[in-house]
């Protein structure tokens, strides 16, 4: 518990300290957002706002998590988890760099992103599978059943990692939205980690993940100081992929990947809305939503960014409460 508190404070203060310097540096380097013509006039004014602000989040959570993690698992568990999160952030950084420096709004192609994500996800899945802290078992929410997937754990984990990181990335389209939702989810997952020891999860793994979740949540809160509407900086794919990586790694290491469907319900909703929109256009030749993903549909309907963040946050709080209940029944 003491490590969690220190990680909370360290990550929060680190982002606040880095914020003004990083934002000014990004402005000087002209690393500004280049908005594609999606039809959202309200986004035109955001052109030029610095991106890659996710560097602050990732640096803060990595520093806090590694410094204040339990000594027994610092190198065997926490370091790999942080490195995988940073790895996904690195994919996002490359994407942001192409957008901001090369001035190509599309960034990496979809095939390039997926290829890099699958390779990194495979490495992460193999680490979990062979780790003495995880293995091939996952918990079924609302039960005390541990499902042993055997060798099928590896493709399951790869799919889960790729799907989760991309779903998290889709939510980064409204000022403060992803920071707020991820902060709530990581607080809840940190509480799951605290209770996980009584549920059969390795005590050392639970202790390490509670610190990672605390550091990530507090880094998101610190980032909101600069990212809440009207945003002074965007986290970019650097931050969104990095946060997705941290979230899914913590879930896997706690043997709770299925909780993503419960606590991360808004991530799932964003991803499903995008998929259904594509299928509707392809097979029905008409849009299901005014615009996908879901938060853009609400924007197109005239809902303010602040209200979208509030609604998503309230739904996430309710979903996390259900998720917490599912692990304590």
Q: pLDDT tens-digit profile of 11-31?
A: 999 999 999 999 999 888 877
What pTM does this model have? 0.94
Count of residues in the chain: 329
Residue 310, CA distances (Å) to 54, 128, 171, 238, 291 in order:
22, 35, 14, 24, 20
For residue 222, what pLDDT is reported? 96
pLDDT digits 0-9 by tens, 215-269? 999 999 999 999 999 999 999 999 999 999 999 999 999 999 999 999 999 999 9
Residues 254 and 188: beta-carbon distance below 8 Å: no
Average of pLDDT values for 316-324? 96
What is the residue whose two structure tokens read 């960014």?
Answer: 305
pLDDT for the residue 42: 63
Query: Mean pLDDT throughout 32-47?
Result: 62
**Average pLDDT rounded to a whole number, residues 307-315:** 97
The tens digit of pLDDT for each residue in 117-141 reads: 999 999 999 999 999 989 999 999 9
Listed in sequence order, the residues at least 6 apart from 244 whose beta carbon sits closer than 8 Å to its beta carbon are 88, 164, 165, 166, 167, 168, 169
The per-residue pLDDT for range 137-185, each reduced to its tens digit, is 999 998 888 999 999 999 999 999 999 999 999 999 999 999 999 999 9
CA separation for the pair 43, 229 (Å, rounded):
12
- Mean of per-residue pLDDT scores for the chain: 91
Q: What is the pLDDT of residue 40?
A: 64
Residue 48 has pLDDT above 60, yes or no: yes
pLDDT greater than 70 at residue 1: no
pLDDT of 111 above 90: yes
């Amino acid at each position: 518990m003491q490590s969690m508190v220190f990680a909370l404070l360290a990550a929060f203060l680190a982002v606040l300290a880095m914020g003004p310097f990083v934002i000014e540096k990004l402005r000087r380097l002209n690393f500004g957002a280049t908005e594609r013509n999606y039809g959202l006039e309200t986004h035109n004014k955001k052109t030029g706002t610095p991106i890659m602000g996710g560097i602050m989040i990732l640096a803060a959570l990595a520093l806090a998590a590694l410094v204040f993690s339990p000594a027994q698992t610092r190198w065997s568990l926490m370091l790999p988890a942080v490195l995988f999160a940073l790895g996904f952030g690195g994919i996002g950084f490359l994407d942001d760099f192409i957008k901001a420096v090369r001035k190509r709004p599309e960034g990496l192609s979809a095939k390039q992103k997926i290829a890099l994500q699958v390779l990194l996800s495979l490495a992460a899945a193999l680490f979990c599978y062979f780790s003495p802290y995880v293995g091939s078992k996952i918990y079924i929410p609302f039960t005390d059943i541990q499902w042993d997937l055997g060798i099928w754990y590896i493709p399951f984990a790869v799919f889960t990692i790729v799907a989760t990181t991309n779903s998290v990335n889709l939510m980064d389209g409204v000022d403060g939205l992803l920071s707020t939702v991820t902060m709530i989810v990581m607080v809840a997952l940190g509480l799951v980690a605290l209770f996980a020891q009584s549920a059969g999860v390795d005590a050392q793994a639970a202790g390490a993940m509670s610190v990672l979740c605390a550091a990530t949540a507090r880094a998101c809160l610190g980032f909101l100081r600069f990212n809440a509407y009207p945003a002074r900086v965007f986290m970019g794919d650097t931050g969104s992929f990095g946060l997705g990586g941290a979230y899914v790694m913590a879930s896997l290491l706690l043997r709770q990947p299925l909780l993503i469907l419960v606590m991360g319900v808004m991530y799932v909703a964003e991803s499903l809305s995008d998929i259904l929109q594509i299928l509707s256009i392809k097979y029905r030749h008409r849009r299901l939503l005014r615009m996908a993903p879901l938060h853009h549909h609400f924007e197109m309907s005239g809902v303010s960014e602040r209200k979208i963040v509030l609604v998503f946050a309230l739904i996430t709080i309710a979903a996390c409460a259900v998720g917490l209940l599912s692990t304590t029944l």
